[in-house]
Structure 1
Amino acid sequence: MRFDLIDLRLFLNVVEAASITHGAERANLALASASARIRGMEEALGVRLLERGRRGVRPTPAGQALVHHARVVLQQVEHMRGELGKYARGLKGFIRVLANTVAVTEFLPEALARYLAANPNINIDLEERLSYEIVQAVAASHVDIGIVADTVDLGGLETFPFRVDRLVLVTPRDGPFAGRDEIAFAESFEHEFVGLSAGSALQNHLGEHAMRAGQTLRFRVRVRGFEAVCRMVEHGVGLGIVPETAAERCCRTMGIRMVRLSDPWALRNLTICVRQFGALPVYTRSLIEHLTERSERVP
């Protein structure tokens, strides 16, 4: 039985994605190569590791056992890299981070850029997900670090304060609510919106709050990114809801105004969560320490 680290990482990616195709993409392997590796693992063990169906794949009982052992092995490898990193400059560490929309777009680019510039032997895989999905992934050890809004149940995870996120409404300078300092989210339902692309964690968050109020947001267009939302709003396409940091930046160059939302959920703490801080590799702990240097928290 001969498995290498590429095999183990590939298998975990396939199981997490519930797809050999998507798992191969995450592992940066061609589909044919990934399929051959999976078949080779099954032949070496003499058991099926995956059940294949129309909607993707899922691990068999033997596959579940392999998932457990693969995570243990790869975690030990990451520990080794952390411990030996100061002796072996060419040995790269790898950190998987899941974060919500606001963290990915507004707060992490600069913070991660500084960390990566100071740590050339570290690679980071950053992916946007919904907060509850992030918590599940961290709890299951699928990823090293999660960054979520503290409105989600964090269970028994260890947490660290990261940033404060305030959501605001943006409107044209002479548009609805332009003369107001603050409104309730429900007041905006009669108007049309510029939204983020389907699948955006923030857009799903807003949709959930509209549903709780018995409403559905009406979108004239969906775009990628907060600047694109604000540009559409400037031209009178509709209203938008974006983080205050993005609104302040866009207000300097665009003909828009921002209005704070009075709803309690519009002011959130962004929180770093991990399964067990002390069990993380040295370089992963150092990233968390770096990210929390300028931490903020709503009292």
Structure 2
Amino acid sequence: MQFDLTDLSLFRHVIEAGSITHGAERANLALAAASTRIRNMEKSLGAPLLLRNRQGVVPTPAGRTLLQHARLLLTQAERLREDLSSYTGGLAGQIRILSNTNALTEFLPEALSAFLAGHPQVSIDLEERLSDEIVGLIAEGVGDLGIVAGTVDTGRLETYPFRSDRFVLVVPNAHPLAGSGHVAFAEVLGHDFVGLDRASALQRFLAAKASRIGQPLRLRVQLRSFDAVCRMVEAGVGLGIVPETTAERATRTMAITAVDLADSWAARDLTLCIRSLSELPPSARQLVEHLRKES
């Protein structure tokens, strides 16, 4: 049985993505090459590692065992690379961050840009997830650090305050709701909405909230950014839900109004979460300290 680090990294990506196709994309491999590697791994082991179905793939018991060891070995390999980098001119390595939509779009771009400018040999793998998913994945060792909503139970993870923000409803200036001081999410579900791509963590969160209320979220358009959502709202396509920081910028140049959401979940205290600061690779520890100073 011989697996190299590329095999192990691919296998981890496949399991985390839930499909060989998306796992191959994350590993920067062609689908045919990725499929061949997985088949060769199973042939070398003499047992199936994946159960394949129409929805994607899930690990077999052997696959779950391999995944545990793969994560450990890949972490050790990354730490080895960082430790040796001190002899070749600086700190190097890759940091895996899992973030909810709010932090990813509103706060991380500036913070990470400043960090990466001072650490040219460090790269960052940034993935958007729901907050409750992030907690579980960080605990399992899938990522180095996560950024989640402060309302989520983080269990035994170490946590640090990051930022505060809230979601607001944005409407055209001429809309009847523009004069409202605040409104509940349930009261506006009868309107058309403009939102992010259905795969985004925030859109999945809002769809779940609407489902619990018993009404579908009527999405007319799905876009890639909050700024684009605001432009569509201004054009009268539908209403939107965006971070307050986004709305404050947009209302300066667009004919839209921000209306407070009365729901408790609209307030977003964002939290950094990690397994253990002392166990992080050096570059990841430096990033945590950088983000804490930026808070």
SS in 1 for 2:248: helix
1:119 aligns with 119
Any conservation in 2 of the 1:81–1:91 contact (CA below 8 Å)?
A: no
2:66 aligns with 66
* Mapped pair 1:232 → 2:226: no
Tell me, in whole angstroms, the C-alpha distance in 2 between the residues paired with 1:192 and 1:22: 31
Any conservation in 2 of the 1:115–1:287 contact (CA below 8 Å)?
A: yes
Any conservation in 2 of the 1:171–1:239 contact (CA below 8 Å)?
A: yes
Tell me, in whole angstroms, the C-alpha distance in 1 between the residues paired with 2:266 and 2:236: 24
1:180 aligns with 180
Q: How far apart are residue 126 of structure 1 and its match?
A: 0.8
Identical amino acids, percent of aligned pairs: 60
What is the root-mean-square deviation of aligned Cα atoms in Å? 2.0
**1:173 corresponds to which letter in structure 2?**
N
SS in 1 for 2:176: coil
Tell me, in whole angstroms, the C-alpha distance in 2 between the residues paired with 1:279 and 1:105: 28
Unpaired runs of 5+ residues, structure 1, are none
Q: How does 1:29-108 map to 2 (within 5 A)?
A: 29-89=29-89, 92-108=92-108
2:201 aligns with 201
**2:20 corresponds to which letter in structure 1?**
I
1:170 aligns with 170
2:7 aligns with 7
Instruction: Specify whether residues 138 and 190 from structure 1 end up closer, same or farther in structure 2 by C-alpha distance, changes over 3 A only.
Output: same
Tell me, in whole angstroms, the C-alpha distance in 2 between the residues paired with 1:249 and 1:49: 49
* Mapped pair 1:287 → 2:292: no
Tell me, in whole angstroms, the C-alpha distance in 2 between the residues paired with 1:172 and 1:144: 41
2:267 aligns with 267
Q: How far apart are residue 67 of structure 1 and its match?
A: 1.5
TM-score (norm 1): 0.90
Tell me, in whole angstroms, the C-alpha distance in 2 between the residues paired with 1:75 and 1:273: 18
Any conservation in 2 of the 1:20–1:34 contact (CA below 8 Å)?
A: yes
Tell me, in whole angstroms, the C-alpha distance in 1 between the residues paired with 2:189 and 2:229: 17
Where is the helix percentage greater, Structure 1 or Structure 2?
Answer: 2
Q: How far apart are residue 263 of structure 1 and its match?
A: 2.3
1:245 aligns with 245
Instruction: Specify whether residues 243 and 41 from structure 1 end up closer, same or farther in structure 2 by C-alpha distance, changes over 3 A only.
Output: same
Any conservation in 2 of the 1:89–1:121 contact (CA below 8 Å)?
A: no
| Total equivalences in the alignment | 295
Unpaired runs of 5+ residues, structure 2, are none
SS in 1 for 2:221: strand
Tell me, in whole angstroms, the C-alpha distance in 1 between the residues paired with 2:184 and 2:16: 39
Dislocated runs of 4+, deviation >6 Å: none
Instruction: Specify whether residues 52 and 174 from structure 1 end up closer, same or farther in structure 2 by C-alpha distance, changes over 3 A only.
Output: closer
Q: How far apart are residue 294 of structure 1 and its match?
A: 2.5
Tell me, in whole angstroms, the C-alpha distance in 2 between the residues paired with 1:53 and 1:175: 47
TM-score (norm 2): 0.91
Any conservation in 1 of the 2:20–2:31 contact (CA below 8 Å)?
A: yes
SS in 2 for 1:272: strand
Deviations 1:89-118 (A, max 9, x none): 377401111111111111111111111111
Deviations 1:138-189 (A, max 9, x none): 1211111111112222222211111112111112122222223333333333
Tell me, in whole angstroms, the C-alpha distance in 1 between the residues paired with 2:142 and 2:275: 10
Tell me, in whole angstroms, the C-alpha distance in 2 between the residues paired with 1:2 and 1:211: 47
SS in 1 for 2:294: coil
